[in-house]
Amino acid sequence: MIKLREALFEDLPEMLDIYNEAVLNSTATFDLQAQTLEERTVWFDKYGENYPLIIAELHGKVAGYSSLSPFRAKPAYAYSTELSVYIASEFRGQGIGSVLVAEILKRAAELGYHNVVSGVVGGNEASRKLHEKFGFAYIGCFKEVGLKFGEWQDVHFYQLLLNKDGNNG
C-alpha cells in the first residue's frame, strides 16, 4: 500500500538516488551531473509551508516524490506554482505518479494557488499522459532549449487552472 507523507530530511538520501538516476539516464531534468547530498540539502531546505514536498512510500522505501515550487519570483506570480514529480525506476508504472499528483494538486488548491504549471521534455510520454489525466492543458513549447546527451531538447508546457473550491477547471 502506498503511504503519502511529508518528506523528511532522513528521506533525502533515497530522494537523491531517485533524482540522480533521472539526471544520469533521462531528460526529465536538465542537470547534467549527479548532485551531491550537500547540493540536494540546499534544494530540500527551500520546501515547507507554501511549497510542499511529499513522498510516496512503498514497502518501506521512498518510491517517488512530488513538490510545488515558485513559478517565478515577481509578486504577481504568487498564485502560480510549478509541479515536479519523480518516481524511482523500480516503481514506475505502478500508479505512484498518479497518487502523488492527486495529493499535490489537492494541496495546491488548499494553499490557494490558481495556476499549476509543468514543463515536460519532449518524448516523455509517461509524464505527458500523467499531466493530461489530471486535466492539464498543453500551452506551448520552447524549442531546443536544453542540450542533453548530445541532442537538443524541447520543453512542452502544461497548465492547470484550479477553481476556488479546489476542483480542477
What is the predicted pLDDT for the residue at 164? 58
Q: One digit per residue, pLDDT tens: the chain, 169 residues?
A: 999 999 999 999 999 999 999 999 999 999 999 999 999 999 999 999 899 999 999 999 999 999 999 999 999 999 999 999 999 999 999 999 999 999 999 999 999 999 999 999 999 999 999 999 999 999 999 999 999 999 999 999 999 999 755 455 5
What is the predicted pLDDT for the residue at 168? 55
Angle between helices 12-25 and 37-44 (to 10 degrees): 110
Domains and CATH numbers, the chain: 3-161 (3.40.630.30)
- The CA-atom distances, in angstroms, between 8 and each of 32, 33, 104 are 26, 24, 16
Model-level pTM? 0.93
What is the predicted pLDDT for the residue at 163? 72
What is the predicted pLDDT for the residue at 169? 52
3-state SS of 119-164 is: EEECCCHHHHHHHHHCCCEEEEEEEEEEEECCEEEEEEEEEEEECC
What is the predicted pLDDT for the residue at 149? 97
